[in-house]
C-alpha cells in the first residue's frame, strides 16, 4: 500500500481549505499544487474506485508539461516511465492525419515535444500521494456563514472555505453555480458513432503501428467532414509483443443533435460491428484491419456521444469551476485535458497566494482566473469544432498542438524479441522527448 501524504497547513500565511469535487485530470492537478504548497484540501470522486468506469484511452501531453513539473512536489514518479502509452517500446508519440495519398502528422522531437499518455496511468500518476475519497457524489452545495458545505448522496458532508467543481461535462457543481440544469448548457453535436476495442499481437501489432504509433484520423468519405475513422493505441503489453487499440467510426447525424440520443446505440453489439465494417468496406485493407480483428464483445455499449459548451461568464462566489465544467470541447484538437490542467495550475497558484480570508480577496483571485480562462476556453471549444469541420478542406492549415503538420514518410516496423522496432531505411529514428 502506498504512503498517503495528507496536506498540511503552512507555518505562516492564510491558507483556505478547498473542497475539490472531481478527481479527474483537472481536480488531481489542483490537488498536487496544493500538496506542494501546504494548502489544506479534500478531493472527492463520484466513482467507487479508480477503475470503476472506462477512463478513455490516451491523451496527448504537450505544452503544459514543463509547468506541471515545476508546480508539482518533488516526489512525483518519472513521468515518461509512468504514463507513456508506448512503453516499453523504443518508439515515440506520433499522430497522423491521412489526406487521400498524403500522410501528414506530427511526432515527438526537441522542437515539438509531445508524449501520449495512457489515460488511466496518467490519472494514477496525478493521484500520487493524494487521498482521493471515492464514492462521494455531490448532492447539495450551500454557504453557511463564511463556510461552504457540500452534502453527498451517501449522507456525509464536508466543510471548507471554497468549493471547486472539477466534475466534468455533467458537472453538479456547475448546476449549483449557474442555477441551470446541464441540459440547458451542453450543446449536442450532430455525430453518431460506433466504438470498438481489440488487442493485436505479433505482426498484426507491428502493422497497426505502421499506420501511426499513437493515433490516426482517416476520412471515410471525401465529401463529408463528419465521417471519419479514428484509431489509436491504448497501451502495450509488458513484453512488447502486443497492444490494445481503440477505434471510432463516426458520421453526420442531425437527429442526434436534435434529440441528444444516438439511435445506433439501441442495436446489439454484433449489428453495430457489422455496420462499422460496411461503412469502411471501401477503405484500404490496412485501415480496416483493426475492425476485422474486433469481436462483438469489443464493441462498447455506448458509442461516443459528443457535446461541447463554453461559459461566457461565471458568477463570483465561494464556488469555482474549471475544466470541462466550463469549456467542454470536442477531441479533434486533443486539448480538453490540457486546458483542464492549465486551469488548475493557474487557479491553484492564485489560491496559494491568497493572504486574507475575506470574500473580496477571493473574488479578486477568481476574477483574475476567469479573465484568462474563459476566453481561452471559449476559443479552444470553437477551434475544436472548426477543426473537425474544416481540417480536410485545407491541409496547409492543419496544426497539431500549435505546430504545422508535415509530410511523414511511410514507416516499416517489425516484431522482435524486444517488441516492435523500426526497420525503415533512410529515415531517422524519432527523437526522444527531453526532460520527461
262-321 pLDDT, tens digit each: 888 899 999 999 999 999 999 999 999 999 999 999 999 876 667 889 999 999 999 999
The C-alpha atoms of residue 427 and residue 90 are separated, in whole angstroms, by 15
Residue 339 is predicted with a pLDDT of 93
Contact of 234 with 245, CB cutoff 8 Å = yes
Q: Which stretches of the chain score pLDDT less than 50?
A: 1-12, 425-436
Q: pTM for this one?
A: 0.88
Angle between helices 25-37 and 336-352 (to 10 degrees): 30
Residue 15 is predicted with a pLDDT of 86
For residues 422, 93, 251, 100, the Cα torsion angle rounded to the nearest 10 degrees is -50
Q: Alpha carbon 306 to chain centroid distance? A: 13
Q: Which domains does the chain have, with CATH numbers?
A: 18-50+127-186+308-390 (3.50.50.60), 190-305+405-422 (3.30.9)
The C-alpha atoms of residue 218 and residue 212 are separated, in whole angstroms, by 11
The phi and psi torsions of 186 (rounded to 5 degrees) equal -70, 145
Cell of 364: 479578486
Q: How many CB atoms lie within 10 A of CB 140?
A: 12
Per-residue pLDDT tens for 167-203? 999 999 999 999 999 989 998 888 889 999 999 999 9
Contact of 230 with 306, CB cutoff 8 Å = no
Query: Which CA distances in Å does 134 have to 44, 138, 248, 325?
Result: 6, 11, 30, 19
Amino acid at each position: 500500500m502506498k504512503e498517503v501524504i495528507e496536506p498540511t497547513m503552512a507555518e505562516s500565511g492564510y491558507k483556505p481549505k478547498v473542497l475539490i469535487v472531481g478527481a479527474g485530470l483537472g481536480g488531481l492537478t489542483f490537488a498536487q499544487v496544493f500538496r506542494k504548497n501546504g494548502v489544506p484540501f479534500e478531493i472527492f470522486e463520484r466513482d467507487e474506485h479508480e477503475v470503476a468506469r472506462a477512463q478513455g484511452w490516451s491523451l496527448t501531453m504537450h505544452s503544459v508539461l514543463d509547468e506541471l513539473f515545476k508546480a508539482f512536489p518533488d516526489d512525483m514518479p518519472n513521468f515518461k516511465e509512468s504514463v507513456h502509452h508506448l512503453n516499453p517500446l523504443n518508439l515515440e508519440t506520433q499522430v497522423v492525419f491521412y489526406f487521400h495519398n498524403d500522410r501528414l502528422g506530427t511526432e515527438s522531437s526537441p522542437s515539438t515535444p509531445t508524449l501520449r499518455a495512457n489515460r488511466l496511468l496518467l490519472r494514477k500518476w496525478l493521484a500520487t500521494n493524494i487521498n482521493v475519497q471515492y464514492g462521494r457524489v455531490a448532492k447539495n452545495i450551500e454557504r453557511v456563514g463564511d463556510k461552504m458545505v457540500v452534502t453527498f448522496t451517501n449522507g456525509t458532508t464536508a466543510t471548507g472555505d471554497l468549493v471547486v467543481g472539477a466534475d466534468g461535462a455533467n458537472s453538479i457543481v456547475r448546476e449549483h453555480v449557474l442555477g441551470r440544469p446541464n441540459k440547458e448548457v451542453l450543446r449536442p453535436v450532430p455525430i453518431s458513432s460506433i466504438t470498438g476495442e481489440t488487442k493485436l499481437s505479433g505482426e498484426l501489432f507491428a502493422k497497426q503501428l505502421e499506420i501511426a504509433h499513437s493515433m490516426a484520423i482517416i476520412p471515410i468519405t471525401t465529401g463529408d467532414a463528419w465521417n471519419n475513422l479514428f484509431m489509436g493505441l491504448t497501451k502495450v503489453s509488458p513484453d512488447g509483443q502486443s497492444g490494445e487499440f481503440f477505434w471510432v467510426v463516426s458520421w453526420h447525424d442531425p437527429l442526434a443533435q436534435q434529440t441528444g440520443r444516438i439511435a445506433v446505440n439501441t442495436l446489439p453489439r454484433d449489428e453495430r460491428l457489422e455496420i462499422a465494417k460496411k461503412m469502411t468496406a471501401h477503405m484500404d485493407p490496412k485501415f480496416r484491419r483493426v475492425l476485422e480483428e474486433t469481436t462483438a464483445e469489443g464493441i462498447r455499449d455506448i458509442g461516443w456521444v459528443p457535446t461541447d459548451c463554453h461559459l461566457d461568464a461565471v458568477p463570483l462566489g465561494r464556488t469555482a469551476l474549471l475544466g470541462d465544467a466550463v469549456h467542454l470541447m470536442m477531441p479533434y484538437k486533443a486539448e480538453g485535458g490540457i486546458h483542464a490542467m492549465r486551469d488548475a495550475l493557474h487557479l491553484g497558484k492564485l489560491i496559494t497566494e491568497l493572504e486574507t480570508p475575506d470574500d473580496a480577496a477571493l473574488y479578486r483571485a477568481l476574477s483574475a482566473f476567469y479573465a484568462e480562462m474563459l476566453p481561452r476556453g471559449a476559443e479552444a471549444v470553437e477551434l475544436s469544432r472548426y477543426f473537425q469541420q474544416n481540417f480536410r478542406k485545407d491541409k496547409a492549415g492543419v496544426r497539431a498542438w500549435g505546430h504545422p503538420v508535415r509530410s511523414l514518410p511511410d514507416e516499416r516496423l517489425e516484431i522482435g524479441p524486444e517488441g516492435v522496432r523500426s526497420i525503415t531505411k533512410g529515415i531517422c529514428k524519432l527523437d526522444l522527448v527531453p526532460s520527461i
